[in-house]
């Protein structure tokens, strides 16, 4: 198996699905000639032509509206939002229309659309290139939300997303693009949406995370392993629909739960998972459920020191684990 | 510079210790290797010395609190630190202990060990209430009564708010406690501030299994003393003895048996050689070495009495290590004569005197109380003629030697006056039936009865 990074995995998935199904097409800012600002669509325009890899104006509402209309007509569009920070103009198309179309037409208008969204901080991107946007979509019925952390998961899940008849918000953490490498099988594969993955088995504490933070969680779990703290790391992979069973089984086993995400703490994915544990694993909890998340500040600070302060990291996670273990 | 003192590891199988008594109070000066705190484990009591010159800043584990090995128990200030050793005024409790606290009896014999055990001082204050029946070993009672005995180990009242156990149990703990019918007041917490963790409860349930309600600690601890009552708080040692007894009677199905032994010949022998023995060996010759020797030889013949219940198997012990129940100043202790089957009467007498003396002076080492495979309790020293002893868990049996009395017995169809002694035994009926245990008792009996005035002692 070849070792690839996340951006290569994304590109492979796009290419394979476009080769497999002529209804699949890409549209977005700089996705064509430029190959995307992260080169996710690099050279795809050469292979599939301008009609299937479409450069658009800087108008996210239009990108999403065009994609939605195409989906209504049986196409499988993959709109790209260049940075998640720029998704807000498209919110009415996404939440007001896309998420509700299938339900509102009693199934007559499914939306087989995959919205690719590079997101996340820790990349010195400052106020407008670092945001986490998952909570909004996580809250919205009618959308699926996928947030892989590894090349293998990214490719397998993106292919499933493209084939899915529901709209899928596909979140790609920008820092993982070239930081995280892993083996990709030569043969074709897909991974089911809605299944979490236990990336590290353990007995004492459950850590639930996704995206870039998953890797910090794995590092932290390794760091405290020498202290006799055996951590189980659950990679959600899909935020919505949430794989409750995997989370609950792990929490019931360990009795302790830490949730780590980069998005702001209040009302985030972690809040929902904490509520899930309180609802359905209450009698198994042996310590307070804790969240280690980004603070409630309006956006990512630009100053390096402040960004470091904002981002959860391996040390902070290890400290939280030690605290849980000692409780 | 401030540093954290951790509870040192004291060897395999010991995972936690109970703080017995702080010998220093916050603010007191410390000298390196000076005893700082008494720690009681289920094997032995030890003194942890100060690892540094400096002062005691803060006590993190209160007296009576049980903490795992490696847990922080105190904050110390090293003498070379910038703050010197002056404590902050509020850290000094109003009831400051004497500058030189009650000296532990063995404080002159301590030696710091090195390596992973850190600051462990050995040879100190044994308690090791590893079971056995109540009673005493009184062979040297007359002489020993006058010896200065160790000060009783009474934990001083805690000088600060001990956090232990007051916090609300977690949902997991409450559910498991309900499922297993566990009274949480009986479970020792090892979590933050003495909190009972889920694992504490699981360990407790696995340890106690079926009959938690029979625990000695089941009495509600919160009941206030009535007008005609005085409530005496348990010392850590009393609690450990209680735990050991409950463990034995709840886990081991006891069966009892008693034989009469005609020790007329043994009495005659001892009377005849006692003075000479004292002269040549320097040890008073008692009956106990003969009993130990008879037991050790019988164990050799019937190895299933020198064994433990292993759940799905019976674990036979190759070595014959006979524990002797001794009433030490703080409570029952069971020092062990290792490889008792290899010792002569003289060797046994010497070992016995050594162990009982050190037990009474609180100078037993952890090795002295470890490794017992069988226990003998000389209840006769208290005048008892029949006992129902409790097995020293996890051993297979315990025997008592009862008081020797002259009794009228029938010999050759005539009434004779003989020196008679009862030997009582409790045995784990999972491991042995009456046949084996009866044969074992007969083997002990016949060995003791074969001793006569002319039996050579070496």
Task: Give the ipTM.
Answer: 0.75
Residue of A nearest to B177 (CA): A283
Q: Quote the number of domains for chain A.
A: 2
| Same-domain check for residues A38 and A176 | yes
User: Kind and range of the H or E element at A308?
Assistant: helix A304-310
Identify the CATH number of the domain defined by range B171-219+235-244: 4.10.320.10
| Same-domain check for residues A241 and A179 | no
Separation between Cα atoms, residue B255 and residue B428, nearest integer Å: 7
Residue with tokens 């003194």, as numbered in its chain: B47
Domain boundary among A184, A209, A236: A184
Residue A189 lies in a domain: no
- Contact call for A282 and B171, based on CB within 8 A: yes
For residue B191, list chain A residues with Cβ-Cβ distance below 8 A.
326-327
The residues, ordered by sequence, that sit 6+ positions from A192 with a Cβ below 8 Å of its Cβ are: A160
Domain boundary among A184, A219, A238: A184
**Residue B66, beta-bridge partner list:** B18
The 10s digit of each residue's pLDDT in B321-361 is: 999 998 887 788 899 999 999 999 999 999 999 999 988 88
Residue A120 lies in a domain: yes
pLDDT value at residue B71: 86
Extract long-range pairs of B155-159: CB within 8 Å, 24+ residues apart.
Answer: B155/B20, B155/B21, B155/B63, B155/B64, B155/B235, B155/B236, B156/B21, B156/B22, B156/B63, B156/B97, B157/B63, B158/B62, B158/B63, B158/B64, B159/B22, B159/B25, B159/B59, B159/B93, B159/B95
pLDDT value at residue B167: 65
Structural domain boundaries enclosing A241: 197-326
Residue B266 φ/ψ, nearest 5 degrees: -65, -40
- The CA distances from residue B413 to A228, B265, B405, B450, in Å, are 73, 20, 21, 21
Segments of chain A scoring below 70 in pLDDT: none
Kindly report the CATH number assigned to the domain that includes residue A77.
3.40.50.970
Q: How far is A287 from chain B (nearest CA, A)?
A: 7
- Which residue of A229, A277, A286 to mutate against B (max B Cβ within 10 Å)? A286
| Same-domain check for residues A301 and A176 | no
Are the beta carbons of A12 and A44 closer than 8 angstroms?
no
- Which residue of B180, B189, B198 to mutate against A (max A Cβ within 10 Å)? B198
- Contact call for B170 and A282, based on CB within 8 A: no
Using the 8-state DSSP alphabet, how is residue B121 labeled?
B
Residue A310 lies in a domain: yes
Q: Residue A241: is the preceding peptide bond cis (ω within 30°)?
A: yes
Q: How far is A256 from chain B (nearest CA, A)?
A: 10
Residue A91 lies in a domain: yes
pLDDT value at residue B331: 80
Residue A90 lies in a domain: yes
| Same-domain check for residues A119 and A178 | yes
- Contact call for A327 and B174, based on CB within 8 A: no
Residue A268 lies in a domain: yes
**Closest listed residue to residue B61, CA positions, set B20, B108, B111:** B20
| Same-domain check for residues A18 and A86 | yes
Task: Say yes or no: domain B252-449 is CATH 3.20.20.300.
Answer: no
Sequence spans of domains, chain B: 2-117, 171-219+235-244, 252-449
pLDDT value at residue A201: 97
**Closest listed residue to residue B292, CA positions, set B97, B137, B168, B417:** B137
For residue B174, list chain A residues with Cβ-Cβ distance below 8 A.
283
| Same-domain check for residues A115 and A155 | yes
Please identify, in words, the CATH class of the domain defined by B2-117. mainly beta
| Same-domain check for residues A174 and A250 | no
| Same-domain check for residues A179 and A252 | no
| Same-domain check for residues A224 and A110 | no
Kindly report the CATH number assigned to the domain that includes residue A244.
3.40.50.920
Domain boundary among A132, A159, A184: A184
For the full predicted model, state whether its pTM sits above 0.95: no
| Same-domain check for residues A85 and A29 | yes
Segments of chain B scoring below 70 in pLDDT: 10-15, 42-44, 80-167, 208-223
User: Which residues of B are known catalytic residues?
Assistant: 429, 433
CB atoms within 10 A of CB A97: 19
Using the 8-state DSSP alphabet, how is residue A196 labeled?
-
Residue A191 lies in a domain: no
Using the 8-state DSSP alphabet, how is residue A95 labeled?
I
């Amino acid at each position: 198996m070849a070792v690839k990074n996340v951006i290569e995995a994304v590109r492979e998935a796009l290419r394979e699905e476009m080769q497999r199904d002529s209804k699949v097409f890409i549209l977005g800012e700089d996705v064509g000639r430029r190959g995307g600002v992260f080169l996710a669509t690099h050279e795809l325009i050469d292979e599939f032509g301008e009609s299937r890899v479409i450069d658009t104006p800087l108008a996210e509402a239009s990108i999403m509206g065009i994609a939605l209309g195409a989906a209504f007509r049986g196409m499988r569009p993959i709109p790209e939002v260049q940075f998640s920070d720029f998704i807000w103009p498209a919110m009415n198309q996404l939440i007001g229309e896309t998420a509700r179309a299938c339900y509102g037409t009693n199934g007559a208008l499914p939306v087989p659309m995959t919205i690719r969204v590079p997101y996340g901080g820790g990349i010195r991107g400052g106020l407008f290139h670092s945001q986490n946007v998952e909570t909004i979509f996580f809250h919205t019925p009618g959308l699926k939300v996928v947030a892989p952390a590894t090349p293998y998961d990214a490719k397998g899940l993106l292919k499933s997303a493209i084939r899915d008849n529901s709209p899928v918000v596909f979140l790609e953490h920008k820092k993982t693009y070239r930081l995280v490498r892993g083996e990709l099988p030569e043969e074709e594969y897909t991974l089911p949406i809605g299944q979490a993955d236990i990336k590290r088995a353990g007995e004492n504490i459950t850590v639930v995370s996704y995206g870039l933070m998953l890797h910090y969680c794995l590092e932290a779990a390794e760091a405290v392993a020498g202290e006799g703290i055996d951590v189980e790391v659950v990679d959600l992979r899909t935020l919505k629909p949430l794989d409750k069973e995997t989370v609950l089984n792990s929490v019931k086993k360990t009795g302790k739960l830490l949730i780590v995400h980069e998005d702001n703490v209040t009302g985030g994915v972690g809040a929902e998972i904490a509520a899930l544990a309180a609802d359905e694993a209450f009698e198994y909890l042996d310590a307070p459920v804790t969240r280690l998340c980004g603070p409630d500040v309006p956006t990512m600070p630009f100053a390096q020191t402040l960004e470091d302060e904002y981002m959860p990291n391996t040390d902070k996670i290890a400290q939280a684990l030690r605290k849980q273990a000692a409780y | 510079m401030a540093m954290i003192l951790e509870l040192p590891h004291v060897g395999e199988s010991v995972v936690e210790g109970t703080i017995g008594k702080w010998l220093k109070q916050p603010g007191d000066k410390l000298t390196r290797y000076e005893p700082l705190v008494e720690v009681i484990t289920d094997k032995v009591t030890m003194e942890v010395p100060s690892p540094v010159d400096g002062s005691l800043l803060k006590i993190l584990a209160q007296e009576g609190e049980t903490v795992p090995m490696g847990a922080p128990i105190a904050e110390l200030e090293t003498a070379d630190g910038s703050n010197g050793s002056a404590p902050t005024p509020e850290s000094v409790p109003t009831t400051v202990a004497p500058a030189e606290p009650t000296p532990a009896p063995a404080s002159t014999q301590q030696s710091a060990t090195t390596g992973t055990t850190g600051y462990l001082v050995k040879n100190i204050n044994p308690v090791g209430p590893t079971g056995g029946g109540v009673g005493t070993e009184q062979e040297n009672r007359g002489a020993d009564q006058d010896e200065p005995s160790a000060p009783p180990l009474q934990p001083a009242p805690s000088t600060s708010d001990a956090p232990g156990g007051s916090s609300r149990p977690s949902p997991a703990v409450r559910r498991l406690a309900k499922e297993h019918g566990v009274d949480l007041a009986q479970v020792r917490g090892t979590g933050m501030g003495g909190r009972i963790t889920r694992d504490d409860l699981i360990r407790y349930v696995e340890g106690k299994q079926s009959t938690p309600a029979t625990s000695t600690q089941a009495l509600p601890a919160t009941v206030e003393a009535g007008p005609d009552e005085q409530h005496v708080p348990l010392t850590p040692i009393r609690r450990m003895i209680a735990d050991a007894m409950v463990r034995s009677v709840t886990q081991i199905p006891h069966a009892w048996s008693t034989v009469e032994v005609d020790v007329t010949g043994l009495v005659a022998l001892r009377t005849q050689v006692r003075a000479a023995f004292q002269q040549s060996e320097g040890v008073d010759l008692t009956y106990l070495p003969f009993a130990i020797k008879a037991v050790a030889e019988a164990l050799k013949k019937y190895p299933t009495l020198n064994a433990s219940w292993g759940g799905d198997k019976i674990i036979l012990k190759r070595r014959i290590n006979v524990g002797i129940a001794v009433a030490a100043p703080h409570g029952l202790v069971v020092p062990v004569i290792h490889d008792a089957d290899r010792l002569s009467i003289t060797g046994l007498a010497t070992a016995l005197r050594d162990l009982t003396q050190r037990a009474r002076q609180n100078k037993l080492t952890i090795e002295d109380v470890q490794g017992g495979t069988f226990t003998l309790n000389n209840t006769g020293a208290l005048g008892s003629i029949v006992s129902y002893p409790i097995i020293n868990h996890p051993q297979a049996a315990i025997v008592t030697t009862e008081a020797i009395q002259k009794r009228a017995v029938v010999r050759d169809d005539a009434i004779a006056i003989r020196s008679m002694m009862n030997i009582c035994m409790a045995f784990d009926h999972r491991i042995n039936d009456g046949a084996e245990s009866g044969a074992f008792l007969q083997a002990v009996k016949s060995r003791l009865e074969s001793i006569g005035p002319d039996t050579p002692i070496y």
